[in-house]
């Protein structure tokens, strides 16, 4: 088994330019676990400068919060996977619930975005997770398996090596309500089973599955101790250097 431990910070639409640089520098200057891959997802406009910063330190990388489903051309306001790759940025988030909910991104678009990202040598962090109503009606497992299957099923094993999964129950994102370690472990084990059915046991045992949703320094240790939780995708707590470092050091 060759699963990577990853802690990623999704800064969303936060920080000014000086704040973004300061945040990255403070985190990189701190003592953090060197078994963990750290990824910053700053706003696009700061991606180049933050990428220049992380190039100076091993195990630190950047990712874009989104990329276009198209290759290039007349798509005003969009940013392509080639552009992201051309500045030395290595990752891209695809399928975050805020993109699905507020920008109506559907499975077809998410598939195209992943195709673009992989074609241009980016690693994908693919996010999925159920809504509160789905959990309450006991449809969470079915929902997650559908979200995984409809987007990933036509990719091949080699492509899956460049995909990281992030289970983010929508009811836990930015709400302060975290999935319990039991709920997280149960779902992560289910996700690994679903990936095994689609791509076989070797891919399933090697793929990293991150947990996201109100993960913070107080709950990260318990969550990361779960057998099938390989790290976290952190929103709010990634904006405070100290909190983010504590989360990294929770492994």
Q: Give me the least distance between CB of 115 and ligand PGA, in Å please.
A: 23
- Residue 115 is among the residues annotated as catalytic for this protein: no
- Catalytic-labelled residue, pool 96, 123, 140, 188: 96
Binders in 201-230 for ligand PGA, by CB under 6 A: 212-215
What b/e string do you get for 73-92 counting C-beta neighbours within 10 Å, with b at 16 or more? eeeeeebbbbbbbeeebbbb
What b/e string do you get for 155-174 counting C-beta neighbours within 10 Å, with b at 16 or more? beeebbeebbbbbbbbbbbe
- Is residue 69 involved in binding ligand PGA (CB under 6 A)? no
Nearest to residue 90, comparing CAs of 47, 57, 129, 153?
A: 47
- Residue 48 is among the residues annotated as catalytic for this protein: no
Nearest to residue 81, comparing CAs of 98, 95, 93?
A: 93
- Is residue 169 involved in binding ligand PGA (CB under 6 A)? no
Q: Give me the least distance between CB of 66 and ligand PGA, in Å please.
A: 13
Query: Which of residues 234, 241, 245, 248 is near ligand PGA by CB under 6 A?
Result: 234
- Is residue 95 involved in binding ligand PGA (CB under 6 A)? no
3-state secondary structure of 109: helix
Q: Give me the least distance between CB of 39 and ligand PGA, in Å please.
A: 12
> 221: Cβ–Cβ under 8 A, 6 or more apart, which residues?
250
Contact yes or no for 9/28 (Cβ under 8 A) = no
- Is residue 10 involved in binding ligand PGA (CB under 6 A)? yes
Nearest to residue 65, comparing CAs of 129, 13, 22, 103?
A: 13
- Is residue 174 involved in binding ligand PGA (CB under 6 A)? yes
Query: Which of residues 83, 220, 233, 247 is near ligand PGA by CB under 6 A?
Result: 233
Length, in residues, of the chain: 251
Name the residue number minimizing CB distance to ligand PGA. 235
Residue closer to ligand PGA, measured from CB, 73 or 176: 176
Contact yes or no for 226/218 (Cβ under 8 A) = no
Binders in 129-168 for ligand PGA, by CB under 6 A: 168
Residues that bind ligand PGA (CB under 6 A): 10, 168, 173-174, 212-215, 233-237
Residues forming the active site: 96, 168
């Amino acid at each position: 088994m060759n699963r990577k431990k990853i802690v990623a910070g999704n800064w969303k639409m936060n920080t000014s330019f000086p704040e973004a640089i300061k945040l990255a520098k403070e985190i990189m200057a701190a003592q953090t676990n060197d078994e963990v891959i750290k990824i910053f997802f700053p706003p696009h406009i700061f991606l180049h400068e933050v990428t220049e910063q992380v190039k100076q330190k091993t195990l630190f990388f950047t990712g874009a919060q989104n990329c276009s489903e198209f290759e290039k051309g007349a798509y005003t306001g969009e940013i392509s996977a080639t552009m992201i790759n051309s500045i030395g940025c290595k990752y891209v988030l695809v399928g975050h619930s805020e993109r699905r909910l507020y920008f109506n991104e559907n499975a077809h678009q998410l598939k195209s975005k992943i195709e673009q990202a992989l074609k241009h040598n980016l690693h994908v962090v693919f996010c999925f997770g159920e809504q509160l109503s789905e959990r309450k009606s006991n449809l969470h497992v079915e929902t997650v398996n559908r979200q995984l299957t409809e987007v990933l099923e036509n990719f091949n094993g080699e492509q899956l090596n460049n995909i990281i999964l992030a289970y983010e129950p929508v009811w836990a994102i930015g709400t302060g309500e975290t999935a319990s370690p039991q709920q997280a472990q149960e779902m992560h084990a289910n996700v690994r089973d679903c990936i095994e059915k689609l791509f076989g046991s070797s891919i399933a045992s090697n793929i990293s599955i991150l947990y996201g949703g109100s993960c913070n320094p107080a709950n990260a240790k318990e969550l990361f101790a779960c057998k099938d939780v390989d790290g976290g995708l952190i929103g709010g707590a990634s904006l405070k250097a100290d909190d983010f470092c504590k989360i990294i050091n929770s492994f």
